[in-house]
Every structure is written in structure tokens, then in C-alpha cells.
């Protein structure tokens, strides 16, 4: 019985709403995406490490506030970088997650109401 309930709670923990509640910090959002930055700078396709990071944020991106947060955090993180904003919406598609609604984020992008 003990093993059964352990498995039950394990499944619950794995399936139920890992990102619900308080929004993560910008470092929690951006750190998994760091491996994608070379792609945003035009250095080849997104790596599997990059795509794993993207996959971890899909749940967050499903809410409006989560998507705005990702936008804002990426904008801040890329403030001093030279990159192609048009590549940002293509990362999720290239990683197989489809278009999640991220705009091409440049420093002029208003992340509110995207
Ligand atoms: C960004 O968009 C929101 C919603 O459309 C608007 O209220 C806000 O004034 C805009 N901010 C800037 C800096 O343009």
C-alpha cells in the first residue's frame, strides 16, 4: 500500500500544475533559455538543450501573465545582446511546440497585452 500511495503522489506531482501559483523569477525563466541564445544570434538551429529549456516553459506560456513574463524577462536578458528578434517566435516552432504566441521581441516591444 505504501508503494502504491508513493506512486500515486509521484504521478500527481509530475502531472499537476508545476507552475501554478506565483510566477517564477526572471532568472528561473531565462536560465533554461540561455542555451537558445546562440540560435537567436543566428548560430545554427536550436540545440536539444535549448529545446528542453523551451519545453519547460510551455506550461507558463499558456497563461497570459506567464507569456508576458517570458516576454519581459527575455527583453531584459537580451538588452545588451546583438540578436535577431525575428528568430524568437521561431524557437518554439523549431523545437516542435508550435507557435505559443511570443512576438519578435526587440527592445521596443511592449510586452503588456501581447
Ligand atoms: C503597452 O501596452 C499596454 C496595453 O495595450 C498599454 O496599456 C501601455 O500603455 C503600453 N505601454 C507602452 C510603454 O507603450
Q: Is residue 15 part of a domain?
A: no
Q: Is residue 44 part of a domain?
A: yes
Would you say the CB of residue 108 lies under 6 angstroms from ligand 1?
A: no
Cβ neighbours of residue 99 closer than 8 Å, sequence gap 6 or more: 89, 92, 93
Cβ neighbours of residue 78 closer than 8 Å, sequence gap 6 or more: 37, 40, 105, 107
Q: pLDDT, tens digit, for every residue of 46-70? A: 999 999 999 999 999 999 999 999 9
Please tell me the total count of domains within the chain. 1
Helix (H, G, I), strand (E, B) or coil at 23: coil
CATH code where residue 91 lies: 1.10.110.10
| Ranges of the chain whose pLDDT falls below 70 | 1-21
Q: Is residue 10 part of a domain?
A: no
- Specify the residue with its C-alpha closest to ligand 1, atom 12: 110
Here the cell at position 95 is 523545437
Nearest to 83 by CA among 49, 36, 47, 31: 36
Would you say the CB of residue 107 lies under 6 angstroms from ligand 1?
A: no
What's the confidence (pLDDT) of residue 34? 97
What's the confidence (pLDDT) of residue 79? 96
Q: Is residue 2 part of a domain?
A: no
Extended beta strands in 57-107, E state: none
Amino acid at each position: 500500500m505504501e508503494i502504491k500511495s508513493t506512486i500515486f503522489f509521484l504521478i500527481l506531482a509530475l502531472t499537476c500544475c508545476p507552475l501554478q501559483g506565483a510566477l517564477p523569477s526572471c532568472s528561473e525563466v531565462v536560465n533554461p533559455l540561455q542555451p537558445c541564445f546562440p540560435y537567436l544570434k543566428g548560430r545554427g538551429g536550436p540545440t536539444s538543450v535549448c529545446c528542453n529549456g523551451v519545453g519547460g516553459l510551455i506550461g507558463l506560456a499558456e497563461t497570459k501573465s506567464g507569456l508576458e513574463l517570458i516576454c519581459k524577462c527575455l527583453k531584459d536578458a537580451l538588452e545588451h545582446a546583438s540578436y535577431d528578434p525575428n528568430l524568437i517566435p521561431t524557437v518554439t516552432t523549431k523545437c516542435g511546440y508550435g507557435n505559443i504566441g511570443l512576438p519578435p521581441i526587440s527592445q521596443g516591444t511592449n510586452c503588456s497585452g501581447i
